[in-house]
Amino acid sequence: MRTTPLPKRPDVRLTAIGMGGAQAGNLGEERSDDVVRETVEAAWAAGVRYVDTAPHYGLGLSERRLGALLRERPREEVVVSTKVGRLLVPSPETADRRDLDGFDVPANHRRVWDLTRDGIRRSIEDSLARTGLDRIDIALLHDPEDRMDQAVAEAVPALVELREEGVVRAVGAGMNFSHHLARIVRESDVDVVLCAGRYTLLDHSALADLMPAALEHRVGVVVGGVYNSGILAVEDPGADATFDYTRAPAEVLERARAIARLCREHGVTLPEAALAFVAAHPAVVSTVVGMRHADDARDAAARASADVPAALWQDLRDAGLLPEDAPTP
């Protein structure tokens, strides 16, 4: 699989497709250890060598599971990113309940925000312990949109300090808000950002703020949420399609169906076009895809290698479905 280096950290190369780790933390439903193992094995066989996880995913379950599986593979072949900003604190008083943040796991810990220098360093130490890995390659500040001043003034500098000490290889931030990521890119010494859902076939908002800033400051962009939580993951979105984790509004569904019709006319699927579109931007270094099971891993790799005709992009522009200035393959 094709790899792309981070512009300022060329020794850190990300495969075109990365494995999102939320599903390994039981996002939405419980998954067995065997299912997670099969998924990782399928992704590895398909050439995926970038894995993204976070303490938030399943209250540490994703880090534990993925760390154990990655320890069985050559460490130098895989790039691992995890996140900081929320510490996991034991919560025995809620251990008999289920987590309320979308993960089917016991609520035996609680997430506590801590963007201080000490909190950032402790978060990395905890992640190293949970994964059992010798290092974290990329550390990303996770969803700091409600704490942006402290993020820029304290949390990101703490990450930079860890990078300079050699504890991590690259640093950045990940969230759903492209304008906040653009601020971090402009005001901080980061190497990479993960932008979820704001640069897709349906949502081009990052084109106006984050993408120009990333190119100017030589910061790599990892795209997450490329299917906008489901509507772009199927060939023909139905009335129950989800967009950003809720039922798609009528106008969004209409646009997705119009894009899907043009895709069919050109002999490609909507998910294939979704992956090809984001990968064409010169700031993008990888696309992280959630993988529920082994078939998702194989599908992602196959879709990413599909041949999408150039005429499709012009037809989408002519139909008013793509901005004129959006880079395409």
Q: Which residues carry out catalysis?
A: 57
Nearest Cα to Cα of residue 271 among 245, 241, 250: 241
Given a contact cutoff of 8 angstroms between Cβ atoms, the answer to whether 152 and 188 are in contact is: yes
Q: Is residue 244 left, alpha or beta, with left meaning phi > 0 and alpha meaning psi from -120 to 50?
A: left
CA distance 58 to 103: 5
CA distance 69 to 51: 11
Given a contact cutoff of 8 angstroms between Cβ atoms, the answer to whether 104 and 30 are in contact is: yes
Given a contact cutoff of 8 angstroms between Cβ atoms, the answer to whether 308 and 268 are in contact is: yes
CA distance 223 to 23: 17
Given a contact cutoff of 8 angstroms between Cβ atoms, the answer to whether 230 and 247 are in contact is: no
CA distance 220 to 190: 9
CA distances for 14 relative to 11, 92, 104, 248, 284, angstroms: 10, 39, 29, 31, 10
CA distance 325 to 322: 8
CA distance 314 to 288: 26
